Amino acid sequence: MEASQATVFMIGAGQNVNRKRLSTSWWWISAVLISLVLIAPLSVIAKSLISEPGEGWELISELLLADYIRGTLIMIIGVGALTLIFGVGSAWVVTVWEFPGKKFFSLALMLPMAIPTYVMAYGYSFVKYDVRDPFMIWIRGHWGPEVMSQSTEIFNHCLAISVLSFALYPYVYIAARIGFAEISGAYIENSRLLGRGLLRSMFSVGLPLARPAIVGGLLLALLEVVNEYGAMKYYGIETLTTGIFVSWTDLGDKDSAIRLAGVAMVVVFIIIVFERALRGRAKYHAHRASSGNLSGPTKTAFGSFIAFALCSILLLLSFIIPLLKLSLNAFYGWREIDLWSLVSGPLSDSLLVSGIACAVIIVSALIITYAKRLFPSLFMKLLGKLCMLGYAVPGAVVAISILIYFSDIGKLIGASSNDISLTRIMFTLTPIGLIVAYAVRFMTPALAPIEAGMGRVSSSMDEASALLGRSSWGGFFRVHLPLLRLPILGALIVLFVDVLKELPLTLVLRPPNVETLATTCYGLIQKEERIADGSLPALILVVAGALGVLALHGLIRRRTVY
């Protein structure tokens, strides 16, 4: 009798062990499958570069490729320089100087991040280069139409660089503030004792110590420049991204579009290598807690006025002016807009698609992160890093990679009995392809905070959960998930805003019956030149982005996210 009871007990224990192994294996299998879906489409670009080029590519490489690369490099260099000036300068003023309105500006200078770059361009639509201007007529009469055309091109490049810098400098501003906040106040005090002012101390002490953070913020800004399509199209600037759209939509040349995407990837790779070289092996060494906060003395009345004026001018140019312009356009054109169709159409589609995309991305990030914790191998770590590649890839490149990859799979599988192909199901009848593309593009903003949050959970809690007889599922839902609520919330905010304002990827992959706020804004302003009508969806995007920035700022202040 006792022997039979022992046998039953051993069988039951063995079944429990098998169930635990099965549940644990499920996390590994799911993480690998999700990672393959995220990584495999990007292999299309590498495959295209080694295949035989077509006739269309030969024409583009001879006539247009140099202009595309030149336009892209001009924008990268120009925007990179201005974002450094705006971001680092404002961060130093707000961090070190004491002046009225310091707390207000520390938050307000983040708000331009809420404005999509193409919306910022539309907000400055009143700044135009009029060829009918008397000065331009004089130039054409004395110097000829070629000089006038060159001056128009220079003006558009300068305006585009300024507008994109206004929209992207918060990346550098936030990174620089974090870097400056980690610097010991004693360093600045020693620099001032040597006779250096706060401005010289910034160049001799602040910038070298905060370089890793500043360069990281600059990298994000430059990647956005390569990804930009709407603003470049609006100003008529030829870049690799606009070239991809021209080849794909206007010329119908898939091969050339893929090869241009490959060139864009090379540019992105060069930017990342350059960022790593600038960052070097620099790390943070000082801590505020050990040596006091980094701050300077209260400025004199004149100095306070200068600091206040500098921050006010930057905020005026980067946020208030485009916001006022969009608001006025929307106010004057509201009678011509069918508000109900806007709310029931693009707004509802945007909320639905963004909500589904955020849910899919968050769940995928949780599975990958927890699988890495259960299986802390080099393979899983490498897989997690590869899943983050999509964030460095321009949206147009991701879209084309997704479309071609699943088209090839559809050809291999063949048509179903109803003759409905896989491509049609994913990209015409449903937004599945668009959701997958969002996951490839925006997995990093979800993985980064969730991995950081899970890294703060002690391994002893996993051991305690296992001793209580809980499976990996039980440990995840009862231990990890409650502790990850705030990191998940922070990731959701960033994801929702990013997906909501994404334009190039959405333009390529959205089904015919799906119209988002971003595509509506682009279509009305860029294609139909109905600036007043397009200002309302643009304004909704700005408000949604601003609310996201404010919510994220509140979470960061509580030191619960990132």
Task: Count Cβ atoms within 10 A of the Cβ of residue 285 and give its class: 0-12 exposed, 13-18 middle, 19 or more buried.
Answer: exposed
Most confident of 25-39, 175-189, 406-420: 25-39
Both tokens assigned to 260: 């241009």
Confidence at residue 358, expressed as pLDDT on a 0 to 100 scale: 93
Q: Report the SS3 class of residue 98.
A: strand
Of 18-32, 389-403, 456-470, least confident by mean pLDDT is 456-470
Confidence category of residue 158, pLDDT binned at 50, 70, 90: very high
pLDDT band at 77 (very low <50, low <70, confident <90, very high): very high
User: What is residue 176's predicted lDDT score, i.e. its pLDDT?
Assistant: 84
pLDDT attached to residue 397 = 85
Range 139-147 average pLDDT:
60
Q: 269 pLDDT exceeds 60? A: yes
The helix or strand, by DSSP H or E, that contains position 35, with its residue range, turns out to be helix 2-39
Position 560 pLDDT exceeds 70: no
Per-residue pLDDT, 421: 61
Residues with Cβ within 8 Å of residue 120, at least 6 apart in sequence: 112, 163, 164, 166, 167, 231, 322
**Cβ atoms < 10 Å from Cβ of 146:** 9
pLDDT for 127: 79
Between CA 351 and CA 340 the distance in angstroms is: 15
- Comparing 164 with 152, the larger pLDDT belongs to 164
User: Which amino acid, residue 542?
Assistant: V
The better pLDDT of the pair 386, 276 is held by 386
Contact 239, 156 (CB under 8 A): no
pLDDT of residue 285: 45
C-alpha distances out from residue 104 to 107, 311, 312, 333, Å: 6, 10, 11, 32
The count of residues in the chain is 562
pLDDT in the model for residue 9? 39
* Nearest residue to 232 via CA among 391, 42, 394, 350: 394
Question: What digits encode the pLDDT tens for the residues 342-358?
Answer: 667 888 888 899 999 99
Backbone angles phi, psi at 298, to 5 degrees: -65, 130
Give the pLDDT score at 315. Answer: 95
Give the start-to-end residue ranges of the domains of the chain. Answer: 1-50+339-562, 78-237+292-324
Of residues 15 and 394, which shows the higher confidence score?
Answer: 394
Per the prediction, the chain carries an average pLDDT of 78
Better-predicted residue by pLDDT, 239 or 293: 239
More confident residue, 219 or 53: 219
Residue 1: its pLDDT value, please? 47
**Nearest in space to 521 (alpha carbons), one of 103, 118, 94, 34:** 118
Rounded distance between C-alpha atoms, residue 279 and residue 272, angstroms = 10
pTM of the model: 0.80
- The domain over range 78-237+292-324 is classified in CATH as 1.10.3720.10: yes
Minimum mean pLDDT range among 82-91, 146-155, 503-512: 146-155
Contact (Cβ atoms closer than 8 angstroms) between residue 539 and residue 429: no
- Report for 74-88, 269-283, 433-447, 452-466: range of highest mean pLDDT: 74-88
What are the pLDDT digits (tens) for 91-136?
A: 888 888 888 888 899 889 999 988 899 889 988 888 776 555 565 5
Q: What is the pLDDT of residues 300-325, one digit of tens each?
A: 677 788 889 999 999 999 999 999 99
* Longest Cα separation, the chain: 112
Supply 76's token pair.
Answer: 């990268």
d(CA 85, CA 172): 9
Q: What is the pLDDT of residues 325-339, one digit of tens each?
A: 988 888 776 766 666
Condensed to tens digits (0 to 9), the pLDDT of residues 395-453 reads 888 888 888 888 777 777 664 444 456 666 666 677 888 999 999 999 888 888 888 77
Domains 1-50+339-562 and 78-237+292-324 equal at CATH topology level: yes
* Separation between Cα atoms, residue 438 and residue 499, nearest integer Å: 7
pLDDT band at 70 (very low <50, low <70, confident <90, very high): very high
Cross-strand bridge partners of residue 98: 298
User: Could you tell me which CATH number the domain at 1-50+339-562 has?
Assistant: 1.10.3720.10
| pLDDT at residue number 463 | 57
DSSP 388-417: TGGGGS-HHHHHHHHHHHHHHHHHHH---T
Beta bridge partners of 298: 98
CA atoms within 13 A on the CB side of 341: 7
Q: Tabulate helix, strand, coil % of the chain (nearest 5).
A: 80, 0, 20
Secondary structure letter of residue 192 according to DSSP = H
DSSP at 112: G
Q: What does the pLDDT read at residue 266? A: 85
User: Cα–Cα distance between 369 and 367 in angstroms, integer?
Assistant: 6
